[in-house]
């Protein structure tokens, strides 16, 4: 007589798996809106550069573009404008941090940056006082 071995998931294994899935969902639900906002900012700087104009006009255009998507992390005054060496085009960069609270005093810190510069190098803001 051959005994067959039982196979399946134990209750403990199921609870652990559900806890892991729940933790991943909490992280995802907190982080997805931040990435949606980041993509809206990247799209807005590309549109702003295409519109052209003075720095002040570009800041105002950026604010108009981001108000549609309810972007709060970056404003027109926070953008970094630089001239590219090759053709003298005005390039736009941004750099910011987003702190997302999880529970109690635990939070996630995400650093976002982007630029219209084809080299991909994000310019640093040199206007800040030391």
pLDDT in tens, 14-48: 999 999 999 899 889 889 999 999 999 999 999 99
Decide if 61 is inside a domain.
Answer: yes
Decide if 41 is inside a domain.
Answer: yes
Decide if 18 is inside a domain.
Answer: no
Mean pLDDT score across all residues of the chain: 86
Structural domains counted in the chain: 1
pLDDT of residue 60: 93
C-beta of residue 20 within 8 angstroms of C-beta of residue 13: no
Decide if 108 is inside a domain.
Answer: yes
Decide if 130 is inside a domain.
Answer: no
Decide if 74 is inside a domain.
Answer: yes
Alpha helices in the chain (DSSP H): 11-51, 55-68
C-beta of residue 110 within 8 angstroms of C-beta of residue 34: yes
Q: Is the dihedral of CA 123, 121, 55, 70 positive or negative?
A: negative
Q: Is the pLDDT of residue 70 over 80?
A: yes
Q: Give the other-Cβ count within 10 Å of 127's Cβ.
A: 6
**What domain range includes position 43?**
31-115
pLDDT of residue 120: 76
C-beta of residue 81 within 8 angstroms of C-beta of residue 55: yes
pLDDT tens per residue, range 93-114 = 999 999 998 888 988 899 999 9
Decide if 15 is inside a domain.
Answer: no
Q: Which pTM value belongs to this model?
A: 0.77
Q: Give the other-Cβ count within 10 Å of 90's Cβ.
A: 16
Decide if 26 is inside a domain.
Answer: no
CA distance linking residue 62 with residue 43, whole number of Å: 10
């Amino acid at each position: 007589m051959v005994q067959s071995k039982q196979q399946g998931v134990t209750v403990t294994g199921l609870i652990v798996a559900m806890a892991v899935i729940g933790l991943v969902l909490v992280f995802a639900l907190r982080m997805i809106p931040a990435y949606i906002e980041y993509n809206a900012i990247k799209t807005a700087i590309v549109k702003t550069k295409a519109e052209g104009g003075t720095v002040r006009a570009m800041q105002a255009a950026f604010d108009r573009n981001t108000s549609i998507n309810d972007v709060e992390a970056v404003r027109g005054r926070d953008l970094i404008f630089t001239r590219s060496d090759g053709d003298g085009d005005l390039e736009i960069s941004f750099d910011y941090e987003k702190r997302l609270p999880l529970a109690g005093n635990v939070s996630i810190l995400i650093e976002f940056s982007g630029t219209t510069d084809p080299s991909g190098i994000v310019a640093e803001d040199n206007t800040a006082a030391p």
